[in-house]
Every structure is written in C-alpha cells, then in structure tokens.
Amino acid sequence: MSAPATTSFSHILPIVAIISTVVISIAGWMIVHFFSKNRDVKKEWRDQARARANDISRLISLSIKYHTDEQRCKENENSILSLFNELEIYIQLIEEKLKIECRIDKFKETVTSENFQTNKFKQLDIDDPQIKKIVHEGNTLRVTLLRAE
C-alpha cells in the first residue's frame, strides 16, 4: 500500500525541479541586473568626474589669464564665477555619488580671494605665489576627480 504514495510524488518531483530552476534563474537574473545597473551608474558618475576635471583645467587657464592680464577684465571675472557656480553643483553631486571629497571651495577661494573683483587690480607675474597656488589647488582638485572610482 505504500508503493502508490511514492508514485504520486514522482509526478510532483519534475514540476518542483522546473519551478525551482525558474525561481533560481529569475533570482540570478535580478541579482546580476542589480549589480550591472549599479556598475553602469557609477561609470556615468566617473565619466562626469572626468569631464569636470577638464572644466577645472579650463578654469585654471582662465584664472591665470585673468590674473596675469594687464588690466582687470570684468568679463573674465564673470566667466570664472559662472564656471565655479556650475562646477560646484556637479562636484557636490559627484562627491555624494562616488563618496569622494573634493575641495572646490579651497580652489575657488584661491582664485577669488586676492586681486579679484577689485578696483585695485594689479597684474601678477606668471611666477607669482598666488598663480602657483591657483595651479596647485586646481591640479589637486583635478587629480581627485580623475582618481574617482
């Protein structure tokens, strides 16, 4: 009498095997999709960090030009401030998404603290300590952005 009970389970076993295979396949796909999506999102943010590093290079050049020009140029001041404002938004998001610390405030302070937006503007020599500090702070920020993982 116990033989018929075994045969009734033999019909269920292939169904259980099929269901468990489907469930495992779906779970595996979901896990792979989750990690792939996260990897792709992080790559997009790394690409943004590298693009902002290029903007920092442009800002370094613009700042050096501004400070080494013979006369104060309000148009360059506005361009520098506008670029800083745009970069601050991006960098805040990059810091949050990639868990890195960028010191754009330190770079901005170096560029705008002395000899900027003043009627007492004085042309700086390319070897001036402030120019060297601008280059140093800008490149430090660029390296941080380029190393973002």
pTM for the whole thing?
Answer: 0.75
What distance in Å separates the CA atoms of residue 141 and residue 136, rounded to the nearest whole number? 9
What distance in Å separates the CA atoms of residue 17 and residue 14, rounded to the nearest whole number? 5
What distance in Å separates the CA atoms of residue 148 and residue 100, rounded to the nearest whole number? 7
Per residue in 72-81, pLDDT (tens digit) is 999 999 999 9
At which residue do the structure tokens 């990639």 appear? 98
Compute the half-sphere exposure of residue 25: CA atoms within 13 Å on the CB side of its CA: 6
Both tokens assigned to 22: 């489907």
Per residue in 20-48, pLDDT (tens digit) is 888 899 988 889 888 888 888 889 989 99
